């Protein structure tokens, strides 16, 4: 049997040598891990957090941007809707104005008929308005003067004794005009009744204007 003491230590069997080697490898690994600087590990961890924070910030910014875009689009749509509505209202108003302009203007109401007194003064005034409208000359004074001489203002007066009466055509009315002359000088718009005061005056003045220039120039039987 070999001595167990050689070179100052006991020789280990092969199996023990393998175990010892494993122990040494494990210890070396532990030493290697211990040798890694703590700041490196920490730096790695901090960098990861910063990156995560950056991504979160970018996401938030994108969401804010999208919200702002949505709000702007809504505001623009609302403004456009209001503008379109105002334009539509204005267009309707313009069309209404145009239609109103195309409507025929309302005819002015006809003036109320002028009122005349049912007496000599009223008859002369009404006749003079007709004479002026027809361009036939005569004055109030000239008409009244001849009326008072011929009939004293009686619209039913009739002459049954002069030559006209002898010939069957007596003079009649305020200005003592005969039927043929009344019919020849009748003025449109007046009565065909020779005894009508206005018709009698108007026809007599038309005759006097044709024969004498105006009733004002008549101072005797005409």
pLDDT confidence band for 214 (50 / 70 / 90): very high
pLDDT confidence band for 110 (50 / 70 / 90): confident
Select from 128, 221, 119 the least CA-distant residue to 175. 221
Does residue 31 surpass a pLDDT of 80? no
In degrees, rounded to 5, the angle at the alpha carbon of residue 151 between the alpha carbons of residues 185 and 164 is 60
What is the chain's mean pLDDT, rounded?
A: 80
As a whole number, mean pLDDT of residues 141-169 equals 96
Residue matched to tokens 């002369």 = 124
Q: How far is CA 68 from CA 56, 72, 80, in A?
A: 18, 6, 18
pLDDT confidence band for 157 (50 / 70 / 90): very high
Does residue 69 surpass a pLDDT of 70? yes
- 6 vs 80, residue with greater confidence: 80
pTM score of the predicted model:
0.53
88 φ/ψ sector (left φ>0, alpha ψ -120 to 50, else beta): alpha
SS3 assignment, position 172 = strand
- The rounded distance, in Å, linking the Cα atoms of 99 and 124 is 49
Q: What is the pLDDT of residue 49?
A: 52
């Amino acid at each position: 049997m070999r001595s167990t003491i050689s070179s100052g230590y006991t020789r280990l069997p092969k199996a023990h040598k393998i175990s010892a080697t494993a122990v040494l490898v494990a210890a070396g690994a532990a030493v290697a891990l211990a040798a890694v600087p703590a700041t490196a590990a920490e730096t790695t961890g901090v960098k990861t957090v910063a990156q995560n924070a950056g991504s979160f910030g970018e996401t938030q910014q994108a969401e804010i941007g999208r919200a702002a875009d949505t709000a702007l689009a809504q505001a623009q749509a609302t403004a456009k809707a209001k503008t379109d509505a105002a334009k539509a209202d204005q267009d309707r108003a313009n069309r209404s104005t145009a239609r109103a302009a195309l409507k025929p203007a309302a005819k002015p109401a006809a003036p109320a008929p002028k009122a005349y007194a049912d007496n000599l003064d009223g008859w002369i005034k009404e006749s003079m308005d007709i004479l002026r409208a027809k361009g036939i000359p005569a004055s109030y004074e000239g008409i009244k003067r001849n009326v008072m001489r011929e009939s004293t203002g009686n619209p039913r007066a009739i002459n049954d004794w002069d030559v006209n009466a002898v010939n069957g055509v007596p003079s009649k009315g305020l200005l003592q005009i005969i039927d043929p002359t009344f019919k020849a000088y009748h003025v449109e718009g007046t009565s065909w009744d020779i005894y009508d005061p206005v018709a009698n005056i108007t026809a007599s003045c038309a005759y006097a204007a044709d024969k004498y220039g105006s009733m004002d120039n008549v101072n005797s039987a005409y």
